[in-house]
Structure 1
Amino acid sequence: MRVLAALSGGVDSAVAAARAVDAGHDVVGVHMALSRSRAQLRTGSRGCCSIEDAGDARRAADVLGIPYYVWDLSERFEDTVVADFLSEYEAGRTPNPCVRCNEHIKFDALLDKALALGFDAVATGHYASATAGPDGAPVLRRAADRAKDQSYVLAVMGPERLARAIFPLGGVASKDEVRAEAAARGLSVSAKPDSYDICFVADGDTRGFLRDRLGSRPGEVVDADGTVLGTHDGAYGFTVGQRKGLQLGRPAADGKPRYVLAIEPVQNRVVVGGAEALEVGALEARDAVWFGDAPVDWTACLLQVRAHGAAVPVRARATAGGGLEVRVDGSLRGVAAGQSAVLYGGPDGDVVLGQGTVERTERAGVVAGEAGVGEVDGVGADGVGAARAGARA
């Protein structure tokens, strides 16, 4: 096959490309330039897409003896991933930019361009496994190294694009194995630090990035009864479940920690309260993507709502509007609208069943009998929190 290997400049993508070459594929390497400031250098393990990364990718391609190109996708990245990040936070939701990057850049813009140029597939250094099911349909599974598994951020790609993806690192036992292989192959990136946090916020100051882009918007921090406890510089700088950085002037009456329960962007308020109010009993998600038939009836499965969070037992089903709804049977806390909800199944709970973007949540103990997700306790589609037990202030 003709395979386009996405070379980020890191050790994972370099080894993935090497394995694609070993498999006998006709491989071409490409580095995606996603930053508009190409002079920007990464800070240790923070950030990516710098000139340093492009140079590391080129050297890896030279060692592997494959052609190498740089594709400027910075405008597309800014218009989709960064713009979505800003608009979601502004609306009181909590987006995952890695999910959106995989959706709009790596398995949309990159893959579409690769197919147009005659390539059969794209290979990346993601830790996940893509196999064919009994009926030949593509199946997305967790990586062998569960600590590095990235199937959560890949679930948004769907079965059609999965069929055009190769993940050579899905079966490796650990990142140490990848680094050792890179060193044995003479790849200079073998000891390069992993990048983490948000790639386009290289200094790690997400709130500062949002403030620079969205401006200062002072408002109130209130409790569930509407009592003003403090102020903030922008409701967009908070997320449901957050405990640190609330800057409240006085402790709670019971002495227990307080957490963000809801963000109300219209009123520019942040609602805080006790941890018990964060327990989620049900949720709705929009824009569902299914691997296989969408379940019409309630189906027992596992739900994961964070990239490296624990999966909890739930029952889920598709909705008529193209979304999905979930009832939580385990313990799930602090879910925010905008997060990606990924469903897993199979005997080992490692097969991705579907994915959606959280739209609404309902507190545990509020779900009545077998009724669907109705009145919501959290951040709704309009971005207005309904976390208060009593009247709104």
Structure 2
Amino acid sequence: MKVLAAMSGGVDSAVAAARAVDAGHDVVGVHLALSRMPGLLRTGSRGCCTIEDAQDAWRACERLGIPFYTWDFSERFQEDVVDDFVAEYAAGRTPNPCLRCNEKIKFAALLERALELGFDAVCTGHYAAVRPGADGALELHRAADDAKDQSYVLGVLTADQVAHCLFPLADTPSKALVRAEAAERGLTVAQKPDSHDICFIPDGDTRGWLAERIELEPGPIVGPDGERLGTHAGAQAYTVGQRKGLAIGRPAADGRPRFVLEVRPKDNTVVVGGRDLLDVDRITGIRPTWAGSPLPEAAAGHWFDCELQFRAHGEIVPARARQAAGDDGAPRWEIEPAAALRGVAPGQSAVLYRGTRVLGQATIDAARNARLAAPAGA
């Protein structure tokens, strides 16, 4: 099989490419240049796509004896990931840029070009698995190592994309074994730190970075009843579940902390309240996609049992869901967790599972708190 190996410059992608070579595939390595002005060096585990990463990817390919290329995807990355990130925050939502990068760059732009060039699959160092289902169609599944499982950020993959994915690290029990294998193979990235945080905000100051790109204006901080409690510096800089940085200046009546319950960019308002008001019992997801064959009961509009995850490495909870049409006629998912959840914010991705299988995902458009939705006196 002719395989294009996406080489990030890290240990996972290097070992994944090595295993693809060992499996007898015809492998070509490619590093994606995602920034027009990359930093010369990483700062420990912060940042990626730097000149150092490109050099590490090249060295790995040299060691493996496979061709190496660098493809400039910086313009598309800026439009589909960075600009989208800013637009989502400006609209009062909390996006996941890693998930969007997988959707738009690594498994859309990259895979599209790979297929045009005659490759059969794209190989990456993601911790996830592709397995045939009962109907013979390929499905996306969790990896063997729960601590490193990345199926959540791959939940945006479509059935067609899953069919062209190769994840050689799927059954590896731990990251320590991957590093040990890299060392045995003489790969210089064996002990290279993993990258963390948002790659295009290497200093980790998301609020400061957004403040340079979104026009922030002071506005009211109000309680659930509309009482004005303070003033914020810009509603778009807040996210649901946030506790720090409210600067209200006076404690709640019960003396307990307040949290951001809702961000209203249209009237530049931040709503805050007690922790219990963060509880969510119903989620509406838009732009749903299936990572394999849709469930028959879902196609018929019936409720189906599943498990829900709404943040990377977050808790997995039992739920039920159904596919329905929104007011605009577009498909959406209605999801009801078996127990109330906290910290659910519009813009996040709700990824549905059945056992280890990834069913698919939808972008959270609304999350209902039963107490806030109930009529007065109920």
Query: Partners in 1 of 2:23 and 2:361 — Cα distance?
Result: 31
Amino acid at match of 1:303: L
Does residue 358 in structure 1 map to residue 364 in structure 2?
yes
Aligned to 1:89: 89
Give, in whole Å, the separation in 2 of the partners of 1:260 and 1:364: 16
2:324 to 313, 319, 332: 319
SS of the aligned residue for 2:108 comes to helix
> What one-letter code is carried by the residue in structure 1 that aligns with 2:305?
A
Deviations 1:16-68 (A, max 9, x none): 10111011000000000001212453221011000010011111111111100
2:349 is matched with 340
- Normalising to structure 2: TM-score of the pair? 0.94
8 Å Cα contact 2:6/2:124 also seen in 1: yes
1:297 counterpart = 2:302: yes
Q: Which runs of 5+ in 2 are unaligned?
A: none
Please report how far the alpha carbon of residue 389 of structure 1 lies from its aligned counterpart in structure 2 after TM superposition.
Answer: 7.8
1:157 is paired with a residue of what secondary structure? coil
User: Runs in 1 of length 4+ with deviation above 4 angstroms?
Assistant: none
How far did residue 221 of structure 1 move?
1.7
Classify 1:365/1:222 alpha carbon distance in 2 versus 1 (closer, same or farther; 3 Å). closer
Displacement of 1:365: 5.4
Deviates more, 1:252-261 or 1:230-239: 230-239
Q: Does 1:258 align with 2:258?
A: yes
What is the CA–CA distance in structure 2 between the aligned matches of 1:222 and 1:85, rounded to whole Å?
A: 26
The DSSP-based 3-state class of the residue aligned with 1:204 is coil
The residue identity in structure 2 corresponding to 1:329 is A
> Which residue is 1:173 aligned to?
173
SS of equivalent residue, structure 1 residue 354: strand
Answering whether residue 312 of structure 2 is matched by residue 307 of structure 1, we say yes
Q: How far apart are the structure 1 equivalents of 2:202 and 2:339?
A: 36
Whole-Å separation in 2 of the counterparts to 1:152 and 1:389: 36
C-alpha separation in 1, matches of 2:335 and 2:177: 37
Cα distance in 2 between the residues matched to 1:6 and 1:154: 15
Q: 1:248 and 1:36 mapped to 2: Cα distance?
A: 41
Alpha-carbon contact 1:4-1:123 (below 8 Å) kept: yes
Distance 1:275 1:39 in 2: 40
Corresponding residue SS for 1:57? helix
Read off the aligned partner of 1:166 and give its amino acid letter: L
Q: Is the 8 A contact 1:288 1:356 kept in 2?
A: yes
Question: Is 1:243 the counterpart of 2:235 in the alignment?
Answer: no
Note the residue ranges of structure 1 that are not aligned, 5 or more in a row.
367-376, 378-387
Contact 2:216/2:236 (8 A) holds in 1: no
Deviation at 1:229, TM superposition (A): 2.3
Q: Tell me by how many angstroms 1:360 deviates.
A: 1.0
The CA deviation at 1:174 is 0.7
Q: Separation in 2 of the partners of 1:311 and 1:78? A: 32
Q: CA deviation at 1:135?
A: 1.9
Structure 1 residue 227: Cα displacement = 2.4
Conserved in 2, the CA contact under 8 Å of 1:143 and 1:151? yes
Identity score, percent: 60
Question: Aligned to 2:257, what secondary structure does the other structure show?
Answer: coil
Structural RMSD (CA): 1.4
**Which of 334, 340, 365 is the equivalent residue of 1:331?**
340
Secondary structure at the counterpart of residue 186 of structure 1: coil
Letter in 1 for 2:319: V
Paired residue total: 367
Deviation at 1:220, TM superposition (A): 2.1
Q: Residues 356-383 of structure 1: CA distance to partner in whole angstroms, max 9, x if unpaired?
A: 00011111357xxxxxxxxxx5xxxxxx
Find the aligned partners of 2:321 and 2:215 in 1 and give their Cα distance.
39
Q: Retained in 2: the 8 A contact 1:96–1:340?
A: yes
Are the aligned partners of 1:338 and 1:359 in contact in 2 as well (CA < 8 Å)?
yes
Q: Does 1:75 align with 2:81?
A: no
Partner of 1:98: 98
The C-alpha deviation readout for 1:115-146, integer Å capped at 9, x for no partner, is 11111000000010011112221111111101
The equivalent of 2:275 in structure 1 is 275
Paired residue type of 1:288: P
Aligned to 1:34: 34
Distance 1:39 1:155 in 2: 30
- Cα deviation, 1:222-243, whole Å, max 9, x if unaligned, reads 2112222222222111111111
Equivalents in 1 of 2:357, 2:134: separation in Å?
13
